[in-house]
Structure 1
Amino acid sequence: MSLGTIHLNKEEDLLLRLKKGDKVAFELIFYKYKGKLFDFIRKSLPTSEEAENIIQDVFTNLWLYRKKLDSGKSLNALLYTMVRNELFMHLRKQIVRRKYVEEFGLFVNENDDSTQNQIEYNELKLLLAQLIESMPEKRKEVFKLSRYEGLSYKEIAKKLGISEHTVDTQIRKALSYLKENLKKTTFVLFSLFFKRF
């Protein structure tokens, strides 16, 4: 199918061609909607870079899952639904990340992009990641679902087939383990965290 035979204003044509793996149709959709979607996302985010990243994720998913797209839904509605979902997940992760930092009493200024601050912050993330990976498998899985994916105790319990009480217990043990081990490294990361304990 050549470029000239695709009607730019007919969403159904573009969507059908996309579902068949037509790269020209995909490019037309990208250039037709990228600007509008970016403006829509940008209103909810502090930086253009974050908006660009979400746009990339949306169009990557659009291509990867093109065969599963609902042909009965308008292309415009489909794209805005995808954008809203990606934006929601992004904002949810940001909230979880802030809660995660606050939970350990950290006082890293995430807006400070100085070289020293970034090095120290990266050291902290690496240390936390190593400690999390060293936890028992089930505890690690529960903790990641809570702190990385932002799932509620109820959602985790349903996903793993365990009780909410078990989820709560595993989270408490994980936090206790992390705090205790992070305390031991205070002399290395003193400028970064733990104003309380």
Structure 2
Amino acid sequence: MEISHPQSNALLTSDWKNNFESAFKTHFKGLHAYAFTVVKDSTIAEEIVQQTFFKIWEKKDQLNIDTSLTAYLYKTVYNHSLNHLKHEKVKQAYQAHTVHHMKNNTDNAEKKVLLTELQQKISVALSELPEQCRTIFQMSRFEELKYSEIAQRLGISPKTVENQMGKALKLLRVKLVDYLPIILIILPNLLIQ
């Protein structure tokens, strides 16, 4: 782990575990309050802070903090909070989209059942995608963003977006193979690149 700022060297010692524990105890309450101001849900705010510390622990050997530890933690919690809100917005748009389709097809009970089942299968398939794949796929398909817009929002290259979309589409096609004819009729642009 490389840490260039003297204030952030607290974690970079032979006693990493104790320093990590101390940082968690010192910053948890403030980070939770900060996340709560963004997501407006105490439980989710707690999960975001825990996720932040988990990722730091998980990547402790590759971690490179070039600001103070406090600034790094708050920035990371802020980014995780925004990602949560984006994910919720996409989920709500998807649910509204599905509800809209279901209302338009009330004359056919079989279609309703099929759409519900399809929605569940798509939700499960989406939830099984790696996080970055899922986020990129949802931004592309549900927010209708171009690859360059997604790359800019996520701070990654357009090529990475393209690769992750290819991976997401491939995985979803495999997971939803039994539903492809229905998807092609009802949601034609969902699994087509």
**TM norm. shorter chain > 0.5:** yes
User: Structure 2: which 5+ residue stretches go unaligned?
Assistant: 1-5, 103-115, 127-132, 151-157, 164-168, 170-178, 188-193
* Relative contact order, higher structure (CA 8 A, sep 6+): 1
Q: Which has the higher helix share?
A: 2
| TM, length-normalised to structure 1 | 0.55
Which amino acid is 1:26 matched to?
A: F
Which amino acid is 1:147 matched to?
A: Q
User: Cα RMSD (Å) of the superposition?
Assistant: 4.0
**Residue of structure 2 equivalent to 1:136:** none
**Residue of structure 2 equivalent to 1:68:** 62
- 77, 84, 87: which one pairs with 1:83? 77
Which runs of at least 4 in structure 1 moved beyond 4 Å after TM superposition?
122-125, 129-132, 148-151, 174-177, 179-182
Task: Please give the alpha-carbon distance, in whole angstroms, between the structure 2 residues aligned to 1:72 and 1:131.
Answer: 37
1:51-104: CA deviation from partner (whole Å, max 9, x where unpaired): 111011100011111223335421111111111111111111011111111122
1:22 matched to 2:16:
yes
Contact 2:65–2:72 under 8 Å retained in 1: no
* Alignment: residue pair count: 138
1:178 matched to 2:172:
no
**Residue of structure 2 equivalent to 1:153:** 146
**Residue of structure 1 equivalent to 2:98:** 104
1:59 matched to 2:53:
yes
- 33, 38, 62: which one pairs with 2:27? 33
Task: Please give the alpha-carbon distance, in whole angstroms, between the structure 2 residues aligned to 1:129 and 1:41.
Answer: 26
User: Structure 1: which 5+ residue stretches go unaligned?
Assistant: 1-9, 109-121, 133-141, 162-166, 168-173, 183-197
State percent identity of aligned pairs: 23
**Cα distance change of structure 1 residues 39 and 131 upon mapping to structure 2, 3 Å threshold:** closer
**Cα distance change of structure 1 residues 92 and 143 upon mapping to structure 2, 3 Å threshold:** closer
**Residue of structure 2 equivalent to 1:138:** none
- 105, 119, 122: which one pairs with 1:128? 122
